[in-house]
């Protein structure tokens, strides 16, 4: 999460986002919205995999934290907690990440995940630490 100057909604080839089919619709420090298909992200019994839902939540919270961090710093997730409220078998899920705390070294986001009908299927909380961006250091 180091390139926050370019198109923030682009998917990096070969990334987990690409493999899961995550699409970012809105990216900012105050709100991040993204979607993910259920198809291809299921358990063997055909339900949306909880790990895929957790990856969606962490992705959105991390993007918001990276925007908040600004140039020269990056966001690293240090705690993710997720509760799965109901199963999803098809369609897409949409997640919205909203900041709980935007500090100088630590920030936290709450992420709500809903199905195509707008019914909440999961709730998550992500905490990130903001560190110097090692890719841009000399």
N- to C-terminal Cα distance for the chain? 18
Q: Is 58 a catalytic residue?
A: yes
Give the residue from 80, 67, 74 showing the smallest Cα distance to 113.
80
Residue 84, class by beta-carbon neighbours within 10 Å (0-12 exposed, 13-18 middle, 19+ buried)? middle
Residues 6+ apart with CB under 8 A from 19: none
Residues 6+ apart with CB under 8 A from 81: 124, 125
Q: Which is the catalytic residue, given 26, 58, 112, 138?
A: 58
Strand order in the sheet with 73-84: 23-27, 32-37, 92-102, 106-114, 120-132, 73-84
Residue positions annotated with a catalytic role: 58
């Amino acid at each position: 999460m180091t390139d926050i100057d370019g198109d923030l909604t682009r998917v990096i080839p070969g990334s987990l986002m690409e493999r899961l089919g995550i699409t970012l619709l809105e990216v900012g420090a105050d709100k991040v919205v993204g979607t993910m298909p259920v198809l291809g992200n299921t358990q063997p019994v055909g339900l949306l995999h909880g790990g895929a839902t957790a990856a969606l939540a962490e992705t959105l919270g991390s993007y918001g934290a990276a925007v908040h961090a600004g140039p020269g710093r990056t966001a690293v997730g240090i705690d993710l907690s997720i509760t799965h409220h109901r199963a999803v078998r098809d369609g897409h899920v949409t997640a919205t990440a909203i900041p709980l705390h935007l500090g100088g070294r630590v920030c936290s986001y709450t992420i709500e995940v809903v199905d195509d009908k707008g019914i909440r299927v999961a709730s998550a909380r992500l905490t990130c630490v903001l560190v110097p961006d090692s890719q841009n250091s000399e």
